[in-house]
Structure 1
Amino acid sequence: MDTEALLEHAAPAPRERERGGHGPSMLTIIGFAFLTFNSGVAVYLSSIDLGAAWFAGFCFLDLGLLFYCLRLYERAPPGSPRREHLKMAAWLLTTMLTFALFPLMEFWLLTMGKTTANSVTDPQNHASSGRMLYHPYSPPIP
């Protein structure tokens, strides 16, 4: 197979170059504005609980830096040392966010397990109440 023929029919240039490289798309701006609004509301509503406010701020900052690193990674030329450094930064930010969200996931799994244990499928838990209480939604067991 002729490699020059393949190079002639290479993939078109990214849309960013078509737009002249002028900033992010409108969808990205709307998504980031939505993330900013939700994070601001979370910090405002958890103003009494300082730990929850710090958690919301950390997640917002981490996601913002992650998206910025990914954007720079896409712009960096393939094989460059900067691209490898940005890849490491993206992995680090993703790992930090995963470890930050892990306690919430663990709490959710434990809560769902207790909900299914107390559902209508276990009549012993409801025998003392006189009548059975039916849960409107029985979540699936993970």
Structure 2
Amino acid sequence: MKIAIGTDHAGYRYKEKIKSFLTAAGHEVQDFGTFSDESCDYPDFIFPVAKAVASGEFERGIVLGGSGNGEAIAANKIKGIRCAVCWNTLSAEMARRHNDANVLSLGERMIYEDQLEAIVTTWLETPFDGGRHARRIQKIVADV
């Protein structure tokens, strides 16, 4: 799978870990930055990830920050993005099953490191249920 990833300084350490295990699992990962833990502004790195997913260049995106909230808000500004903040495997599973989330937002300060791989793997491997949920997604993507 082609995956875009980006973070601010607060998610930098987890971004590096995610890149390593995704690459080892055979995924193609493009890092949109940041490339250090020096303070920076998350929209500068989140918007490019979201735009790359929305354009179809990448199948999925992963964004990170301290809590993941600001990153999800920024990503969701891009038309076609359904970014969900996930904090455990159940939230990751439901983000895919019910919301067809195409971008995952993670908070490095909110998730224990030993749970990180399981959350990302669950989100990547869980299919969208469709059915009644597809009708709801259509309402979300419709212009209001």
In the superposition, the TM-score normalised over structure 2's length comes to 0.28
Q: Give the alignment's TM-score, normalised by structure 1.
A: 0.28
Rg larger for: 1
Greater share of helix: 1
Q: Which has the higher contact order (CA 8 A, sep 6+)?
A: 2
Higher strand share: 2
